[in-house]
Structure 1
Amino acid sequence: MAIKKSELYSSLWQSCDELRGGMDASQYKDYVLTLLFVKYMSDKYAGNRNALIVVPEGGSFADMLKLKGDKEIGDKINTIIGRLAEENDLKGVIDVADFNDEDKLGRGKEMVDRLSKLLTIFNDIDLRANRAEGDDLLGDAYEYLMRHFATESGKSKGQFYTPAEVSRIMAKVLGISRDTRQDQTVYDPTCGSGSLLLKVADEAPRGLSIFGQEMDNATSALARMNMILHDAPTAEIWHANTLASPYWKHKDGSLKTFDFVVANPPFSQKNWTSGLDPAHDPFGRFELGAPPAKNGDYAFLLHIIKSLKSTGQGAVILPHGVLFRGGAEAVIRKNLIRRGLIKGIIGLPPNLFYGTGIPACIIVIDKEQAPTRTGVFMMDASKGYMKDGNKNRLRSQDLHKIVDVFTRQIDRDPKYARLVSLQEIEANDFNLNIPRYIDSSAPEDLHDLNAHLNGGIPNRDIDALEDYWQAFPTLRPALFKPSDREGYRYARVPAQEVKVTILGRPEFTAFSERVLAIYRAWREQHLPTLQGLHIGAEPKALIHALSEDLLERFAQAELVDKYDVYQHLMDYWAEEMQDDVYVIVQDGWLEAAKPRLLVEEKGRKTKETPDLVIHKKKYKTDLIPPALIVARYFAPEQAAIDELQAAKEALDEKVFAQYGKLDEAEIKQLVVQDKWLTAMEAQVMAEVERVTQTLAGRVKALEERYAEPLPQLTQEVEMLSARVDEHLKQMGLVWGADG
């Protein structure tokens, strides 16, 4: 049976545990990724002399396995990797990590044991059985490792990785898509491990010609390995300082230009002029102004602009300071704006990136439309994110909303995005600080002094809920009644009965049914596709089709945010459904549904919790939880067990036996309808419930806020004070004026 994606991730991260001893993540990542490379190449190409990568005799992962327990294991692993590197012109790429380094891997038996365990873990991962070539299982696992390495590498060492969500945004706002031509080019002058380049290239199924440059030797080697692992072996990655020694040039010495340029350069680099005289730059990169000597942000931006074709587009991640700092940077910024080179600016949440916690932005450059540009499209997307450990992370819905709004130039919500005219920017002295143009702060919930003094709920606050009153036309008069004061109304029902009143209205029931009908139409549309999943199907194409259609359908739903519904599907996919789908498309329905026997290794118990224990044997049910079998086939027995727990073992045996009786149609019904679609329907109905909670909560808050006017409160306070004084007198605790 094929390994689930989550289990693959766990196995790979377990390999990292074996190396943590004398290294931090920025170091042990090189060992783990090198072994992953050798294992993948061996699984994919060993024995095929006509393959893209030649695995020579004595240069495979199988040769490494023979070394388990060998006293010279570290040195011999280096030799094996060296043979693979020599055969494929990869010296200086895959042989950077020293597997015989005693300071990092331990001495004597400690090194032998550590490397032997590491090889055992990798041997258990069969990348051929998991179809790494077809479904990008390996690519996703690599992404998982890179994110974790970056998280653990610390502030100064995590810059080799750009979060995948940000990379996808950059690709999409540049218009890279299925229509992008194969002969077009993309370049990253500070490519790190190559993660940004690869995510951009992923958006162009026809392919893009990839070019990159990276100053750090080990990281540039990592990028080369990354390209090969992701089936981009023709990508050209060069190791050198981009600003001082740009490698990609034309024969006449001028900079090579590209269709697309993306970059996440080091923020505010202080030594950017090392090896370079900005005043006499042979490539003319600083014609719009010389960046400050101690801050390289604009140096990278100007290099990117110079590296673009006249029709080219670029996207670069930079700190917010580039938008408003004065001096030399203000001069450059003014020239960029006047020439129309800046198409847009996207403000991102803080603490997204691994080299810094400060907020950053994406600056989008467009040369082709520069002569006719009349404004800059600005977005403040800083509020949409989730916590992920000690970092923040963009959710699927945040990514999709940013791309939708930017690419369509939607400015209906001025607190999120708007097209700012060049005249307005010039009036602000070419300062591009986003808060100058977009006030994304939440509106203040103002109290009404008159209402506090005299009672009643301001019509202003009730009118602010107009979206709800349009959806539920008879609800407003059911909750509020007229008052004798203009501009105010009174509550018709007690605060604690507001939610019950809302739920009891016929139009709320109709609203709930309309939302559910949208979901069920989506369900019926995709039910044949889900039940038709087969070996070799493409999981990523499936979730793309499902999610995009769900998003489009819920754009028509009132009060329900389409992006929230979309996020529910993407969360369920990430947490459970994708594991199910990957197993089905690798093993088929019947094999995927079989309970898996958990085998405990000698001296070590399995970490997995069994779902069934039959005759002391422990089983894990990856695809169909026992509860689904019980609900569909053994509901009476479950009812009996609820009364008599001792019968649980007998029911477990019936459930286990039922797995063997299931045919493919029954498995599909259990998985697709009872599991996947039922779970999604519950999430959609949770959105309906959220509408109720939001409205009820606001109405209840308004009622309670103005329930007792100030004179009444003052009278109550005076009355209570008099009672306290009387009580104190009776206790003899009140003294006269003489004390």
Structure 2
Amino acid sequence: MAIKKSELYSSLWSSCDELRGGMDASQYKDYILTLLFVKYVSDKYAGKEDAVIEVPEGGSFTDMVRLKGDKEIGDKINKIIGRLAEVNGLKGVIDQANFNDEDKLGRGKEMQDRLSKLVAIFDGLDLRANRAEGDDLLGDAYEYLMRHFATESGKSKGQFYTPAEVSRVIAKVIGIGPETRQDQTLYDPACGSGSLLLKASDEAPRGITIYGQEMDNATWALSRMNMILHGHPGAEIWRGNTLADPHFKNPDGSLKKFDFAVANPPFSSKAWTNGLDPENDEFKRFEYGVPPAKNGDYAFLLHLITSLKSTGKGAIILPHGVLFRGNKEADIRRNLVRHGLIAGIIGLPPNLFYGTGIPACIIVVDKENASSRTGIFMIDASRGFEKDGNKNRLRSQDIRKIVDVFNNRIELPRYSRMVPIAEIASGANDYNLNIPRYIDSSEPEDLHDLDAHLSGGIPVRDVDALEHYWSVFPTLRDALFRSNGRPGYLEPRVEPAQVKATILAHPEFSAYAARVAAVFDEWRTAHEPRLWALDAGAKPREVVRALSEDMLVRFAGLPLLDKYDAYQCLMDYWAGGMQDDVDLVAAEGWVAGAKPRGIIEDKERKIKETPDLVIGRRKYKMDLIPPALIVHRYFAAEEAAIDDLAARQEAAARELEEFVEEHTGEEVLLEDVVNEKGNVTRKAVNDRLKEIGRAAEFAEEREALTRCLELIEAEARAGKAVKEARAALDERVLARYATLAVDEIRTLVVEDKWFASIRAAVEDEVERLTQRLAGRVKELDERYARPLPELEREVEAFGKKVEAHLKRMGLVW
């Protein structure tokens, strides 16, 4: 069975546990990613003729497996990797990590055990069924590792990785797409581990020719491995300082020009002039101005611009300072704007990047349309993100909204705007490109009405501000508010606690919910055939692309419910489990994918799976169809019977608890059998009964103990009945998996699991709409519920009460 994404992640991350302590993440990532590379190429190419990578005798992962427990395991792993590197021209690429380094891996037995466990973890992964193409689990796992390594590496060493979400935005706004030709070129002058290049190339289904340069040796090696793992072995990735010694040049010595360029260079580099005389640059990169000697942001931007063809397009990530800093940078900025080279600026949320916490922006460059440019399209996307540990992260809906708005030049209040060059050049702005000058993204201030605080009533102005709700629920407004007799002011018709219930019960809301459900049902009906037709060989990313694109179209016409929120419902569910399901069907087919999988505890790998069914000592994992779906569809009566038995058990437990509580108060008849936790056990009761025997003076206690014992046994019988019934049902459920026909499997997965889950998520979004409206109505009600005169009268009354109490206490003043 092909390995699931979640299992692969778990295995790879547990492998990191074997290395933590001896080195930090910026170092142990080299070991983990090297082993992942060797394992992958061994599984994929070993024994195949004309393979992209030759796996020689003595240079495979199988050779590593034979070393488990070997006293010279470190040195021999180095030799295996060296053999693989030599045969494939990968010297200096895959042999960067020293597996015989005693300072990092320990000495003697410690190194032997550590590396043996590490090899065992990778040996447990079967990567043969996973492709390093657009739908590849391995590629996603590589991204997962890079993101986690970047998180652990800290600010000083996390710059080798551009978050995949930002990379996707850049790829989509520079024009790479289905029409891009394979012979067109893509370039990154500071490519790091290659993540930005790969995400950009993913947007070209017909392929694109990749070029990159990276200064750090270890990061350059990661990039080369990354390209091979993702199916781009021909990508030209070179080592060296791009600014001082650019590798890609024409025969005449000028810089090579590319169709597309992307970059996430180190922010504000203070050493950018090392090895370079910018005043006499042979490549003429600084004709628009020379950046300041202690800040290289514009140096990378100017290099990227010079590296583009006359029709080229590119994007670069830089700190916001480039938009407004003065002196030399202001001169460069003025020249770039005047020449029409900047097509757009996208302001990103803070704390997205691993090398720095400061907010950054994407500057989009377009040479092709520079001469006719009359404005710069700006987006303030700084408020759209989710928290992810100690970092912020763009959600799927944030990415899609940025791309849609930018590519279609959609102007949205407080979010996006086409800013005329004339406005940017005006004396008030003087070519300052700071986004807040042109887009005010702040929420309107919630103003209080002083007259309402003094005299009571809810201002009509505040209720009118909810017009986007009243346009959909025109009579709901009158159900919630009425005139209070003062012009311009209203009062609530219902108590604050009843506002939400009133909204939910209103026929206009019911009609709206039905309208949303109808749109969902249309979307579901359109895609049922596609999902039912899935089988081995399907391409998961094509599936989610079709589902998500159509969802955006269908939900676009609905008021109140943002189409991007509906889109996020789908994308969250996809990332949370549906992708695993589709990957499994694509690899195994419906029938094989639905089979229960026995869980084998592997203590050495430290991977513990939570079983879906436990029958005796047997543990099972149901990857595609959870047992609850089988129960709901085929054993509803049995489940109802178990629920009834459970209710009886709960009633028996409650009766016992009440009896014990009743007889451990003043009567204390059960005092001698109640333990320190307040519980009573059968043993304690029996022991006490034996102790008091038939003595007359203990008759009342004996009666209470006997009744208590009856209740304990009743609860035990009820619990046993539940346990036996559930065990019997579990056996029947497990047996039912073996008899499922392919159409039954499709129904359970497509209808009962996928569509039902997405529908529930969309319904939750509708619920949130009502919550927001109800919350605002209650807020207005409570804000103006008690006018100042009423509060003053209440204060006066309390003051008189206090004064009276003080006088009774004998205090006179």
Q: TM-score, normalised by structure 2?
A: 0.89
Q: Are 2:216 and 1:216 equivalent residues in the alignment?
A: yes
> Which amino acid is the alignment partner of residue 585 of structure 2?
I
Render the CA deviation track for 1:112-148: whole Å, top value 9, x for unaligned.
1111111111111111134456731111111111111
Deviates more, 1:694-703 or 1:235-244: 694-703
Q: Are 2:398 and 1:418 equivalent residues in the alignment?
A: no
The residue aligned with 1:123 is: 123
Q: Are 2:636 and 1:629 equivalent residues in the alignment?
A: no
The residue aligned with 2:198 is: 198
Q: Are 2:80 and 1:80 equivalent residues in the alignment?
A: yes
The residue aligned with 2:32 is: 32
Cα distance between partner residues in 1 of 2:185 and 2:606: 51
Q: Is the 8 A contact 1:270 1:296 kept in 2?
A: yes
The residue aligned with 2:713 is: none
Q: Is the 8 A contact 1:596 1:620 kept in 2?
A: yes
> Which amino acid is the alignment partner of residue 812 of structure 2?
W
The residue aligned with 2:365 is: 365
Q: Is the 8 A contact 2:345 2:377 kept in 1?
A: yes
Cα distance between partner residues in 1 of 2:407 and 2:605: 53
- Structure 1 residue 344, shift from structure 2 partner: 0.7
> Which amino acid is the alignment partner of residue 581 of structure 1?
V
> Which amino acid is the alignment partner of residue 808 of structure 2?
Q
- Structure 1 residue 163, shift from structure 2 partner: 0.5
> Which amino acid is the alignment partner of residue 74 of structure 2?
G
> Which amino acid is the alignment partner of residue 227 of structure 1?
M
Cα distance between partner residues in 1 of 2:323 and 2:295: 14
Cα distance between partner residues in 1 of 2:66 and 2:11: 21
Render the CA deviation track for 1:217-256: whole Å, top value 9, x for unaligned.
1111111111111111111011010111011111111111
Larger Rg: 2
Cα distance between partner residues in 1 of 2:434 and 2:215: 31
The residue aligned with 2:172 is: 172
Cα distance change, pair 606–74 in 1 and its aligned pair in 2 (3 A): closer
> Which amino acid is the alignment partner of residue 420 of structure 2?
S
> Which amino acid is the alignment partner of residue 420 of structure 1?
V
Render the CA deviation track for 1:608-639: whole Å, top value 9, x for unaligned.
11111123211111111111111111112112
Q: Is the 8 A contact 2:14 2:605 kept in 1?
A: no
Structure 1: tracts of 5 or more residues without a match: none
Cα distance between partner residues in 2 of 1:666 and 1:728: 80
SS at match of 1:260: strand
Render the CA deviation track for 1:478-500: whole Å, top value 9, x for unaligned.
22222433222222222222222
Cα distance between partner residues in 2 of 1:241 and 1:603: 43
Cα distance change, pair 601–167 in 1 and its aligned pair in 2 (3 A): closer
Render the CA deviation track for 1:169-224: whole Å, top value 9, x for unaligned.
00110011111111111110000011100110000011111110111111111111
The residue aligned with 1:232 is: 232
User: For 1:561-600, what aligned pairs fall within 5 Å after superposition?
Assistant: 561-600=562-601
User: For 1:201-350, what aligned pairs fall within 5 Å after superposition?
Assistant: 201-350=201-350
Cα distance between partner residues in 1 of 2:12 and 2:339: 49
Q: Are 2:726 and 1:725 equivalent residues in the alignment?
A: no
The residue aligned with 2:382 is: 382
User: For 1:18-167, what aligned pairs fall within 5 Å after superposition?
Assistant: 18-132=18-132, 135-167=135-167
Deviates more, 1:284-293 or 1:705-714: 705-714
- Structure 1 residue 414, shift from structure 2 partner: 2.8
Q: Is the 8 A contact 1:131 1:586 kept in 2?
A: no
The residue aligned with 2:659 is: none
Q: TM-score, normalised by structure 1?
A: 0.98
Deviates more, 1:355-364 or 1:524-533: 524-533
Cα distance change, pair 603–148 in 1 and its aligned pair in 2 (3 A): closer
> Which amino acid is the alignment partner of residue 642 of structure 1?
D
SS at match of 2:155: coil
Q: Are 2:812 and 1:735 equivalent residues in the alignment?
A: yes
> Which amino acid is the alignment partner of residue 677 of structure 1?
F
> Which amino acid is the alignment partner of residue 485 of structure 2?
D
> Which amino acid is the alignment partner of residue 459 of structure 2?
P
Structure 2: tracts of 5 or more residues without a match: 646-721
Q: Is the 8 A contact 1:211 1:236 kept in 2?
A: yes
Cα distance change, pair 285–693 in 1 and its aligned pair in 2 (3 A): same
The residue aligned with 1:694 is: 772
Q: Pick the aligned partner of 1:669 from 747, 761, 770.
A: 747
Sequence identity percentage: 71
Q: Is the 8 A contact 1:169 1:399 kept in 2?
A: yes
Q: Are 2:560 and 1:559 equivalent residues in the alignment?
A: yes
Q: Which runs of 4+ in 1 moved over 6 A?
A: 602-605
The residue aligned with 1:437 is: 438
User: For 1:636-647, what aligned pairs fall within 5 Å after superposition?
Assistant: 636-644=637-645, 645-646=722-723, 647=725
Deviates more, 1:180-189 or 1:44-53: 44-53
Number of residues of Structure 1 aligned to a counterpart in Structure 2 = 734
User: For 1:589-628, what aligned pairs fall within 5 Å after superposition?
Assistant: 589-601=590-602, 607-628=608-629
- Structure 1 residue 643, shift from structure 2 partner: 2.9
The residue aligned with 2:692 is: none
Q: Pick the aligned partner of 1:657 from 723, 735, 745.
A: 735
Render the CA deviation track for 1:86-115: whole Å, top value 9, x for unaligned.
111111111111111111111111111111
Cα distance change, pair 323–228 in 1 and its aligned pair in 2 (3 A): same
SS at match of 2:471: helix
The residue aligned with 1:492 is: 493
